[in-house]
Amino acid sequence: MRRTLRAKPRVVLLGLVAAAAAAVGLAAAPAQAATWSSGDQWATWSNGGYTLYNDVWGSGAGPQTIWANSYSNWGVWANHPNTGGVKSYPNATRYVGRKLSTLHSVSSGFNVSVPSSGAYETAYDIWDTNNAYEIMLWMNKTGAVGPLGTSQGTVSVGGSTWTVYKGSNGANAVFSFVRTSNTSSATVDVLAVLNWIRNTKAWFGDITLGNVQFGYEITSSSGGLDFTTNSFSVSSS
């Protein structure tokens, strides 16, 4: 989702935004014919109860084009320079809107094709409705990227083994679960992770689950790289 919801501190000069917007217009077309595509930095598209966001929010970003055939099959071509700092988080978002105590299950599955170069992670970004708590699930990472906060050790929960980091971006608490081995395909028991934070660690209470986002947090993709979501879904009950 657009990173204003993520509330990370940032300063973007108007000149940089204008330059990035102009560059986005030069972005390459998707490698396949798609139902929808856009090079606009804030492009959005709704389908099947999900919303897709191009979300080119970081300072110094290059061109990026998002395309989609459905909420489950979409991708981006991105050409961000080899500099530090997150440039974008193209993602698909599903809103839940229920307290954890009322949920019986929240699960998600995905399958992606990602480049072997660049600096990025494939990640879930999960929020409560007040945007006070951010829970990131890093499914794979490549290049010089790392989570906020300090390590809290390792835990096996939700179908994976993770190194857990606890920190803050200055506006909200951030809990990052970094998978100990990269994967391009998995099923995640999201509710199990959230209940571990709530019941085992007591880092938050009975929050209302808001947006469950899945996408690519890209720091650099110099020369132009393709990120493809072959399938993705979120289910809750």
The reply to whether 71 falls in a domain is yes
pTM above 0.75, yes or no: yes
pLDDT attached to residue 33: 72
What single DSSP character describes residue 14? H
The reply to whether 8 falls in a domain is no
pLDDT attached to residue 32: 54
Backbone angles phi, psi at 192, to 5 degrees: -60, -40
- The one-letter code for the residue type at 107 is S
Chain-wide mean pLDDT for the chain? 90
Active-site residues, by number, are: 134, 217
Given a cut of 80, is residue 13 above it in pLDDT? no
pLDDT tens-place string over residues 97-136 = 999 999 999 999 999 999 999 999 999 999 999 999 999 9
Query: Which CATH number belongs to the domain containing residue 170 in this structure?
Result: 2.60.120.180
Given a cut of 60, is residue 21 above it in pLDDT? no
pLDDT attached to residue 41: 97
pLDDT tens-place string over residues 137-192 = 999 999 999 999 999 999 999 999 999 999 999 999 999 999 999 999 999 999 99
The reply to whether 2 falls in a domain is no
Do 105 and 84 form a contact (C-beta atoms < 8 A)?
no
Given a cut of 50, is residue 9 above it in pLDDT? no
The reply to whether 126 falls in a domain is yes
- What total number of domains does the chain contain? 1
The reply to whether 181 falls in a domain is yes
The band of 22, judged by pLDDT with boundaries at 50, 70 and 90, is very low
Which domain covers residue 170, as residue numbers? Answer: 14-236
Given a cut of 90, is residue 2 above it in pLDDT? no
- Written in H, E and C, the secondary structure of 171-224 is CCEEEEEEECCCCCEEEEEHHHHHHHHHHHHCCCCCCEEEEEEEEEEEEECCCC
151-160 as b/e: b if 16+ CB within 10 A: ebeebebbeb
Given a cut of 80, is residue 7 above it in pLDDT? no
Pairing of strands 106-113, 173-179: unpaired
The reply to whether 120 falls in a domain is yes
Given a cut of 80, is residue 30 above it in pLDDT? no
Rg of the Cα trace of the chain?
Answer: 17
The reply to whether 57 falls in a domain is yes
Please give the C-alpha separations between residue 167 and each of 54, 176, 196, 197, in angstroms, as whole numbers. Answer: 26, 8, 17, 13
Mean pLDDT of 224-228: 98
